[in-house]
Amino acid sequence: MQFESVTGKASIYVEQDFWAQVPAFNVVQDLISGAEDKLKRKGMRINENRAIGLFKERLVRLMMEGDHVERNRLFGQPEAEMRGNIVPIRASPGRPRRWQYFNKYQCSLNPSF
């Protein structure tokens, strides 16, 4: 969940960000698990990166909602959208990656969500 982008450099900020992201990541994993159970296609899985992005967009609104019926409806929306973002399960190549000059600097790789 992009833990490397924390809000501060002090240890208290890093710890606070970590403990804030753990429950959110657990909820996303629960949503992914439920969406994959309802997925009809075999050999496919939910795109985890897109699932995290979908959930992050709605997390604050979900927590602020007072009506439990509306909260349940909002909670079900990301799961339905997650089932629309599927990718095939690919076999691992079985060999280590080679270093290449164009991925030398991590800061040049943009996040996907």
The pTM of the full predicted model, rounded to 2 decimals, is 0.64
pLDDT of the residue at 99:
66
Per-residue pLDDT band for 106 (boundaries 50, 70, 90) equals: low
pLDDT value at 112 more than 60: no
Which tops the pLDDT comparison, 77 or 100? Answer: 77
Asked if residue 3 has pLDDT above 80, the reply is: no
Provide the mean pLDDT of the chain.
Answer: 78
The pLDDT of residue 71: 84
pLDDT in tens, 19-53: 888 888 888 888 888 888 888 778 888 888 888 88
Q: Got the DSSP string for 48-109?
A: HHHHHHHHHHHHHHHHH---HHHHHHHHHHHHHHHTTSEEE-----SSPPPP-GGGS-GGGS
Which residue has 């967009």 as its token pair? Answer: 57
Q: What is the mean pLDDT of residues 7-26?
A: 83
